[in-house]
Chain A
């Protein structure tokens, strides 16, 4: 049984910020509603006011400006998967968005909701992390920018204050020589919460070596995490496509992730599978890049 709620529809950003200030901690934003409605049904929403952002058109966009990709908080997963800009300059994000839920969820669910929800399993989060995204946050009193890696403070928790909302994400457009990708392990091939997910960006040097690596895992810790030791090992890979070398570099992640047992999988399996997931996704990306040249 869903409790009775006060429902306000914001028409524009200014209106949304006013409502946010007016109701403060009593309100909950609703963007696509694909997380909020599930929680409402389960009786897990303590707030009694809903502020609906779904009609705030100025928060729904994707654009590129002087080498920086900007994604509005209300851009849907379907928007991101179809956007030529995201596909070209932030492929990991397009891949992640295209694997969220099913078509209905991707049509409704937004990237802002996915991030603000702060689930360790949120699929776009590791992608945004390896793209070095920055979160733009606004309130009536101004705006601030937070690197996405610092945005999360725990499962379901973030640095957002009650009167603040996320307006957009921006990240440097990936260019030639940068490889980025995403992989996900679930209980089936669609409509599945990640048992583990992984995203990476590799910058490839002239000698075909990886000169910089960013790798982030979801669903294997209280927040999405970067695995710095594994990243270093990827930078030491030989300049040829070797499954064994990739597999053993990926295996380092075993030491850097800290999953728990839950209904979906045990912690020890998650560790193993996370390493495998990285090896597989990295191999696919490196293989396609080296075949091209």
Chain B
């Protein structure tokens, strides 16, 4: 299938989104619809002694008020461990915890009623520092203690490695609590149906898992719950876990009316998932020629109040703590620690940006000490296919570390960096740095990772592609359409897509972990092959043409045992029967052996990118402007160039936000940055000039050679920015975001004296 041609089309959803006609779940309304209000906790950590809803119930227009006792099924949710109550009964653990749910005829009444719910709390001490929280006498967030997960992965003998090292670099790094900030906050409508079933319309990253979690909460057969979660107004990982769905489902089932919730930005910032802040202590040993000998890493992950995906995030971080460099001796240890600092979960990059900021910084510092340039030291250490990773598994699939490194070295920015660094203002300094990243894709070993797709030949000779994976902005549905059209050899306009709903599309796993395009490439290819089989079967049943033929797609049709037939002809041929459906299923390849002590590791398929950044630092104010970024990215096989560039643009902006601006500040459990006047994300004025270098080293396990790129495009830019600040000014940035004041303090350490 190497000759497959992907027609370069505009996004299939571009016009509707640009014109505002796209119906997001938050746009929906239904007759008789009620409005939900989540009564949130008043304290970050407290026992709930009692709740009195009588004043709220008495308000005109209030239809119901629910407390924990009203949860009909299991009162908890969570992808890994369902330890987050839908409604807290006895204890609250963060400011976003729900203590009661209101449904009323208007949003205003619902909000007013929420203020009338009387809760008697017994305030507990706030746990707000993950390192302190590990001490034996620290107050406990959960009865089970504050350790959500502890992982230790070792290979070789780090102490021996350090003894042989000529240079050892050791530092502590800190990373921000980044918010996903999708344009569409958590929202949706739950609709009770006449047959006793429930329809859930809420943008999320995995309708089929939502269905199971909702079934558990409601105590209902999952078949009675229909979830539509597509399209989504932005996700970035923040809608992987359930958000408002449990609450509105309970309210809808209780009242028998459709119930809608649409969180304000402020409520979203307080209650929503965030990126886990990490403290990374990293000690790395090098030989004088730059060869890496040992890496000893301890990560403290601020989990926030509930588990969600905190364990897998920690483990993916530990898997990448020595990147894909040839490090013979490693010790990667991590603690995911419960605190009352909001809740953290999945976020694009999934732990990798946190550790690579530390690692790439240690590498550049070693290079500087050893008089090596940043490319040379990395080239010396990058791994190739067939070698053993720093956590001990053999890399069997394609590895492009050297490919992206070579490309970034040859880039315009890197080659001409001395010219780019010139400035005539006495107070400005410019710097250029680079970094590279692998990003393990897919769900990892031991977690069923599969994808299904159907290709229906419709009666009119066009096609319907059914696949679970949602579109939340990445452009994947355009890519799926191109892949199906390319295989079928039809114009992409002849493929319609039905996705992200438990009725009418097929489970293809979550739209996370850089897995959508890769999964779809295999599921769609399998469905395409199966369609050919179905055609043979159908012709044989009707004309006894035999079963041992293979259909081949040719321009707008297929070769069959009866000669070439256009798709219209085939559709007409079988118009009386049910439409021809190609069913494709695919299971991700995985390693055959788990990394001991580390659930989910290793990952098997990787994304690769290298990025170089040009920054300008104002030494008078500490302001840092990111002027230019070059990305060298391996797509495996580019399906849609425009969408790849779009992912780079967005990824760079999100990486820039992590590096320079974004942090959800929480003091004593209270969020201080509740909206966009204080939670700072880059604007159009802040984003850099881009240069794209798209490389294609096909991933052999994809039928179409593609690999995911959605996450990796935001990763190397983060260390690259921090290291470019060093190149500009000589100071090492160890805590992100590098806000003006932080950079200024590094430049002027004596300021307070």
* Interface residues, chain A, with chain B CB atoms under 8 Å away: 1, 38, 102, 185, 187-193, 195, 243, 263-266, 268-269, 272-273, 275-277, 279-280, 283
Contacts and interface: CB of A to CB of B under 8 A. Distances in A.
B108 A185 contact: no
Nearest to A270: B741
Contacts of A272: 744, 748, 751
Contacts of B752: 268
Nearest to B745: A269
Contacts of B14: none
Contact of B620 (A102, A193, A195, A277): A277
Interface stretch (B4-12, B473-481, B680-688): B680-688
B427 A188 contact: no
A263 B625 CA distance: 21
Contacts of A264: 678
A127 B656 CA distance: 32
B618 A280 contact: yes
B83 to A, nearest CB: 32
Nearest to B739: A187
Interface residues of B, number: 34
Contacts of B621: 185, 273, 276-277, 280
B743 to A, nearest CB: 10
Given A1-B108, A187-B661, A280-B618, A266 B685 contact: no
Contacts of B745: 269
A191 B683 contact: yes
A276 B744 CA distance: 11
A188 B751 contact: no
Given A188-B680, A280-B618, 4 more contacts: A189-B625, A192-B680, A280-B425, A283-B426
A156 B744 CA distance: 30
Contact of A188 (B425, B673, B682): B682
A276 B622 CA distance: 10
Contacts of B108: 1
Given A1-B108, A276-B618, A269 B741 contact: yes
Nearest to B619: A276
A100 B413 CA distance: 33
Given A189-B625, A279-B427, A273 B685 contact: no
B623 interface: yes
Contacts of B680: 187-188, 192
B665 interface: yes
A272 B753 CA distance: 13
B665 A263 contact: yes
B111 interface: yes
B52 to A, nearest CB: 23
Interface string B604-628: 0000000000000011111101000
Nearest to A190: B685
B683 A190 contact: yes
B576 interface: no
Nearest to A276: B620
Nearest to A264: B678
A268 to B, nearest CB: 6
A276 B428 CA distance: 11
Interface string B634-655: 0000000000000000000000
B686 A273 contact: no
Contacts of A265: 740-741
Nearest to A275: B620
Q: Is the interface of B mostly helix, strand, loop or mixed?
A: loop
B677 interface: yes
Nearest to A38: B677
Interface in B699-746: 739-741, 744-745
8 contacts: A38-B677, A187-B739, A189-B625, A189-B683, A190-B683, A263-B673, A280-B620, A280-B621
A75 B111 CA distance: 38
A190 B625 CA distance: 12
B554 interface: no
Contacts of B625: 189
B672 interface: yes
Interface of B: 108, 111-112, 425-427, 618-623, 625, 661, 665, 672-673, 676-678, 680, 682-686, 739-741, 744-745, 748, 751-752
Contacts of B111: 1
A1 B622 CA distance: 38
Given A269-B751, A273-B744, A280-B427, A189 B618 contact: no
Contacts of B672: 263
A166 to B, nearest CB: 25
A273 B673 contact: no
A185 B684 CA distance: 17
B741 A185 contact: no
Contacts of A269: 622, 741, 744-745, 751
A102 B751 contact: no
A241 B36 CA distance: 65
Given A102-B683, A263-B672, A279 B620 contact: yes
B620 A188 contact: no
A187 B752 CA distance: 21
B427 to A, nearest CB: 6
Most buried by B among A38, A192, A272: A272
A193 B618 contact: no
Contacts of A283: 426
A272 B672 CA distance: 25
A192 B680 CA distance: 9
B53 to A, nearest CB: 20
Contacts of B683: 102, 188-191
Contacts of A243: 426
A187 B740 contact: yes
Contacts of A273: 620-622, 740-741, 744
Contacts of B112: 1
A195 B740 contact: yes
B685 A188 contact: yes
Given A190-B685, A272-B751, A280-B618, A266 B741 contact: yes
Q: Which of A102, A191, A268, A277 has the most CB of B within 10 A?
A: A191
B661 A188 contact: yes
Contacts of B622: 269, 273
A230 to B, nearest CB: 15
A263 B619 CA distance: 22
A243 B752 CA distance: 25
Nearest to B108: A1
A154 B248 CA distance: 47
A214 to B, nearest CB: 21
A186 to B, nearest CB: 9
Interface centre among A185, A187, A273, A277 (most CB of B within 10 A): A187
B167 to A, nearest CB: 34
B427 A263 contact: no
B677 A193 contact: yes
A38 to B, nearest CB: 8
Contact of B678 (A102, A195, A263): A263
Nearest to B111: A1
Contacts of B618: 276, 280
A283 B752 CA distance: 26
Nearest to A185: B621
A243 B428 CA distance: 13
B751 A268 contact: yes
Q: In this complex, which of B740, B744, B751 has the most chain A Cβ atoms within 10 angstroms of its Cβ?
A: B740
A275 to B, nearest CB: 8
Contacts of B751: 268-269, 272
Contacts of A277: 620-621
B356 to A, nearest CB: 24
A22 B670 CA distance: 43
A266 B744 CA distance: 12
B248 to A, nearest CB: 19
